[in-house]
Structure 1
Amino acid sequence: MELHKSFLDHKVTKSSPSPALCCVETVSQDEQNSHITAYNSGDGSTNSDNESSSSKTVRDVHISTRLMEDFLDLAKENTEKDLETCGILGAFLEKGTLYMTTLIIPKQESASNSCNATNEEEVFTILNDRSLYPVGWIHTHPSQSCFMSSVDLHTQYSYQAMIPEAFAIVLAPTDTSRSCGLFRLTEPDGMNILKNCPETGFHPHKEPDNGSPVYEHCSNVYKNSNLRFEIFDLR
């Protein structure tokens, strides 16, 4: 089966009246492979010698290089009001690799340190209609640093329990040390702690007994300059 060429061409198209916007970066054929790099730390740098504890057991995920920039543009109004914005990432599976081709911005209730999706059945309809995996989620920390809060960790657990490759993108535009992070819970330690945690809201989580972290930077997520994606803004 061939890769979905509609998401790997060089066109920018707008679907109407659908609220979807398809985006792609145009690069030459010779540049395609050189623009695929692994996100291994919050600033998007690479480090093949420092793989996460889970990277060898999960499939690779490709995302567009435009994803974070476009999401920040969509979140700009909220960010200026010190309100979080969240979105869901949909991907299709092709020959053992997950390709993120859909960003869904659900209806949501936002505060300066939280964001809750509403009308989630709309999100599931889009994912189901396109046979996509909910491979992760993305949200802003408009005035906080780039990290995973306890509430974020519980949200990540719900995704990662469904899809082992699921990851969280945190965008913190005011954090001068690291404005972007791609995170996942460690396995099995972080996943077990969240699985057995009955608390809600903001609360501390103990570190695993073996000293490993509860969550870590992803090393299986790649940025792909030729991967187009749709944006559904349902707000």
Structure 2
Amino acid sequence: MTSSLSLPNRPLSVKEISDQADAFERNTNIPLKAWLRTAHTLYHEGEVYMREGNFAQAYLLYLRYSTLLVDVLKIHPEAKSPEGKKALKSQYQTVNIVLNNLEKIKPIVQREYEEWQESESRRQATRDQEQVDRAKSQTPSTYEDHASIDPALSSSARLLDAGENQELAVDLAQRELQRRDASRKATRKAGVSHQEEQKRRIAGFWDNWTHELADRQADDEEAFRKQMESTRRRLDGSEEPRPDDSTHDLPRPQRPSARQSVTSDTRASGYRYPSISKSEPVQYDTLQPKVRRDLPAQPPRPPKESPYPQFRDSPSHLPTPLAPERPGKEQIYPERTASASEQLQERPTPPPKARDPASMPAKQQRLTFKPAAYLENGEPIRPIFLPAQLRDRFLSIASENTRRGLEMCGILCGTAVNNALFVRCLLIPEQKCTSDTCETENEGSMLEYCINEDLLMLGWIHTHPTQTCFMSSRDLHTQSGYQVMMPESIAIVCAPKFKPSYGIFRLTNPPGLPHVLNCTQSATFHQHHVDNLYTQAGHPPGHVYENEKLDFYVHDLRPGAHNSTLQRKNF
């Protein structure tokens, strides 16, 4: 029997998420420029997950971001330098936005956990308490155990395997990225600065998520819906609930859109339509109680043979008093004068219920891709989609350096969509190249470009023109700076003169990442007395999927580069 604490999709408490957010390596040996890249990544990812309605993961990322600024960057040795102070100043401008978002996200996360906990307690009586306690003490060993502590999967959503749904993942990502690009271009065309754009975007999001909504609106709406359904069944003479009567399976992030849809329909029609049965005509008389509330009490309806239609124009000649004529359908639809049968035939089709998954707008059908794998310590790794043509494009750019025996590097930039990562830009930074190393320069221009284009740094690619395809000690230290906060980060090595000529790698954790982070040797090449420091990241068995249909573009930051000739495709 599976423990309730090992269920995928179960909501996590604020404390559980906070504990995970606080569990990261506070290592001041990592260069400040690497920490600044990490801070940008955390902030941008938090914003993406919040807009997607994945509040648990957004809360973790924002909390980790604020902890990083306060506990690590402020006391970093390079923070006192003029360059460090300038770089940190721009990061601190986002602190108020992050704290405000944390304040608003926290009650949403806590409410979801409390609701789950309450429902789970009713089922707990049927479970073996001893087995539950044993499960608590065990370390995660199965996918369910790992997924149950993954904040990205803790909110209700349809979980999909990215490897089995690659075409869907790429299609969803490209449509979403097109939408983001169009929105960003529109705001810039209007003369809105990047900082103002961020403020408006966050403010616009929370306009739809007020404190009242976060606290009680969902419960109030559910109670109102049940009351209306109960009234409808009573008037129809049917006390049995309909199959679609339950909404407890509705994912929480979809509820705001559903409520907005219901509110809009109610305001437009003045009434929430009941369901229409296919087996018999709809009796619109069931709508009359709403109209009769505003009318005086009516006498009982006379038999069909008693109206005496020939005397209707002369009430004084009636043999018996004629009961007042029953209000017509025009009380609900005053503009209609047709018969009831005509009204039934011409009446517009009632809108589908917003909670019906088949009729939900595309935006409401939120999908979440499951982690492609887990690290050696159980930490989840999201899938990364890599354009299959990117390697050849990079080798073409680096061909002159390769011919001269010099290394060259590029940065893999992209974004997150539905808990998967997509490389969409090959960024060529300013760099100093030798036969054994390539050092990026002017990190500020890299960060500025990524911030303006809403890009994450997902890893790097570099050449080994005179060496085989492996990760040198210098490469390992460079990779640790990428992977310290984003475990999915990858390093691609191209060795065109050797076989294999291409490899996708990541540090193991443990032992690789913690060992390299704590290594204090400063020589360009040195020995690490630990095996298994890095491993293959390509699928299988890793988390990186190369896809032929995923488009990308190149942006070259080197002086004199001509980016006008490098056109985007689809993105």
1:130, CA displacement in angstroms?
A: 2.0
Q: Please say if 1:182 is aligned against 2:504.
A: yes
Aligned counterparts of 1:183 and 1:92: Cα–Cα separation in 2: 20
Aligned pairs for 1:9-28 (under 5 A) are none
Question: How far 1:154 sits from its partner (Å)?
Answer: 0.1
TM-score of the pair, normalised by structure 1: 0.76
For residues 54 and 84 of structure 1, the distance between their equivalents in structure 2, rounded to whole angstroms, comes to 33
Please name the residue that 1:5 is paired with. Answer: 175
Structure 2: gaps (5+ residues): 1-51, 53-171, 179-371, 559-571
Q: Which residue of 1 aligns with 2:536?
A: 217
1:29 corresponding residue in structure 2: none
Question: 2:555 is matched by which residue type in structure 1?
Answer: F
Residue 79 of structure 1 is matched in structure 2 by 402
The whole-number CA distance in structure 2 between the counterparts of 1:186 and 1:144 is 22
470, 476, 487: which is aligned to 1:147? 470
1:146 CA drift (Å)? 0.3
Match of 1:193 in 2: 515
Deviation at 1:162, TM superposition (A): 2.7
Alignment of 1:130-169 (within 5 A): 130-169=453-492
Q: Tell me, yes or no, if the aligned pair for 1:7 and 1:229 is still in contact at 8 Å.
A: no
User: Which of structure 1's runs of 4+ aligned residues deviate more than 6 A?
Assistant: none
Largest Rg, 1 or 2: 2
> Displacement of 1:71 after TM fit?
0.2
Q: Does 1:114 align with 2:465?
A: no
Q: Partner of 2:58 in structure 1?
A: none
Please name the residue that 1:95 is paired with. 418
d(CA) in 1 for partners of 2:422, 2:377: 19
Offset, 1:195? 1.2
- CA pair 137-54 structure 1, distance change in 2 beyond 3 A: farther
The residue matched to 1:92 in structure 2 has which SS? strand
1:103-152 per-residue CA deviation (whole Å, 9 max, x = no partner) reads: 11111110111000111111111211122221100000001000000000
CA contact (8 A) 2:469 2:503 kept: yes
Contact 2:413 2:424 in 1 (8 A): yes
| Counterparts of 2:378 and 2:503, CA distance in 1 | 16
CA contact (8 A) 1:62 1:99 kept: yes
Q: How many pairs does the alignment contain?
A: 190
Kept after mapping to 1: 8 A contact 2:428/2:555: yes
Q: Which amino acid aligns with 2:464?
A: H
Question: Equivalent residue of 1:162, what SS?
Answer: coil
Which residue pairs with 2:272 in the alignment? none
Deviations 1:158-204 (Å, cap 9, x if unpaired)? 000131100000000011x2000101100121011111101122111
Correspondence for 2:386 among 63, 70, 74: 63
Report the secondary structure of 2:411's partner residue. strand
Aligned match of 1:206 in 529, 538, 544?
A: 529
The separation in 2 between residues aligned to 1:226 and 1:55, in whole angstroms, is 31
CA contact 1:168–1:183 (8 Å) conserved in 2: yes
The 2-side partners of 1:182 and 1:3 are apart by: 22
Aligned 8 A contact 1:54 1:186 in 2: no
- Measure how far apart 1:4 and its partner are: 3.3
Q: Which residue in 2 is equivalent to 1:13? A: none
Contact 1:7–1:227 (Cα < 8 Å) also in 2: no
Contact 2:408 2:463 in 1 (8 A): yes
- Secondary structure at 2:173 match in 1: coil
Q: Percent identity?
A: 39
Please tell me the residue identity of whatever aligns with 1:123.
M
Asked whether the equivalents of residues 185 and 215 of structure 1 are also in contact (C-alpha less than 8 Å), the reply is yes
- Report 1 or 2 for greater relative contact order, CA contacts < 8 Å, sequence distance ≥ 6: 1
Structure 1's unaligned 5+ residue stretches are 9-47
CA RMSD of aligned residues (A): 2.2
Is the partner of 2:438 in helix, strand or coil?
strand
Q: 151-160 vs 123-132, which deviates more?
A: 123-132
Shift of 1:53: 4.2
Counterparts of 1:54 and 1:148, CA distance in 2: 22
Rounded to whole Å, the distance in 2 between the matches of 1:84 and 1:55 is: 35
1:7 Cα deviation after fit: 6.3
Distance of 1:98 and 1:88 partners within structure 2:
15
How far is the alpha carbon of 1:57 from its aligned partner? 1.9
State the match for 2:299 in structure 1.
Answer: none
Name the one with the larger helix percent: 2
TM-score calculated relative to the size of structure 2:
0.32
**CA positional deviation for 1:230:** 1.6
Displacement after TM superposition at 1:54 (Å):
7.2
| Counterpart in the other structure of 1:34 | none
Which residue number corresponds to residue 81 of structure 2?
A: none
